[in-house]
C-alpha cells in the first residue's frame, strides 16, 4: 500500500471484499475488521468536531471497501456529495442532510426517538 505525503492512513479494512468472496465462503468465523488509527486522526484534526467527522468519514470509507468499492469509486462518491447543490441532495430524497455528529455521540438523530 503506497501512501504518499501529504496523505495519511486513518483506517484500513482487513478482509475479503464481498464481491471477491467465492460462493461457498460462508458467514462464520471470518476475521473481517476495520482498524481506525487514532494518532494520525488526532494529528490531522484541530477540534473534537473534526475528529468525530473524520472518524465517521473513515468508517464509511472502509465499509465501502468491504462492499468492494475501489479508492477511485469512493473518491468519486465523495466528490459527488461535496458538489451537491444543496444539503437536501445529500440526505434521503425529500429530507434534509443527515445530522452525523449527534449520532456519533450517542444522541438521537432528528426524527428518531431516543
> Is residue 102 within a helix (H) or strand (E), and if so which, with residue range?
helix 100-104
The pLDDT value recorded for residue 10 is 95
CATH of the domain at 40: 3.30.2010.20
The pLDDT value recorded for residue 84 is 76
With respect to residue 104, please indicate whether it lies within any of the assigned structural domains: no
Q: How many domains does the chain have?
A: 1
With respect to residue 57, please indicate whether it lies within any of the assigned structural domains: yes
Range(s) of the domain holding residue 39: 11-83
With respect to residue 96, please indicate whether it lies within any of the assigned structural domains: no
103's grid cell: 449520532
The pLDDT value recorded for residue 89 is 53
With respect to residue 45, please indicate whether it lies within any of the assigned structural domains: yes
With respect to residue 89, please indicate whether it lies within any of the assigned structural domains: no
With respect to residue 101, please indicate whether it lies within any of the assigned structural domains: no
With respect to residue 98, please indicate whether it lies within any of the assigned structural domains: no
In this structure, the strands spanning 33-36 and 11-14 are antiparallel
Full-model pTM: 0.67
| Tens-binned pLDDT, residue by residue, of the chain (114 aa) | 677 777 789 999 999 898 888 777 776 667 789 999 999 999 999 999 999 999 999 999 999 999 999 999 999 988 888 887 765 555 554 444 444 333 333 333 334 343
The pLDDT value recorded for residue 98 is 40
SS (H, E, C) 32-69: CEEEECHHHHHHHCCCHHHHHHHHHHHHHHHHHHHCCC
Distance, in Å, from the CA atom of 50 to the CA atom of 62, rounded to the nearest integer, reads: 18
With respect to residue 46, please indicate whether it lies within any of the assigned structural domains: yes
Amino acid at each position: 500500500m503506497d501512501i504518499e505525503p501529504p496523505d495519511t492512513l486513518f483506517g484500513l479494512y482487513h478482509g475479503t471484499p464481498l464481491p471477491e468472496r467465492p460462493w461457498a465462503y460462508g458467514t462464520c468465523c471470518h476475521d473481517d475488521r476495520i482498524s481506525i488509527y487514532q494518532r494520525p486522526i488526532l494529528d490531522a484534526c484541530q477540534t473534537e468536531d473534526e475528529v468525530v467527522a473524520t472518524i465517521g468519514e473513515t468508517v464509511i470509507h472502509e465499509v465501502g471497501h468491504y462492499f468492494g468499492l475501489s479508492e477511485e469509486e469512493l473518491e468519486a462518491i465523495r466528490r459527488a456529495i461535496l458538489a451537491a447543490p444543496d444539503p437536501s441532495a445529500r440526505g434521503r430524497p425529500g429530507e434534509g442532510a443527515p445530522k452525523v455528529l449527534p449520532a456519533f455521540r450517542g444522541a438521537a438523530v432528528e426524527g428518531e426517538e431516543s
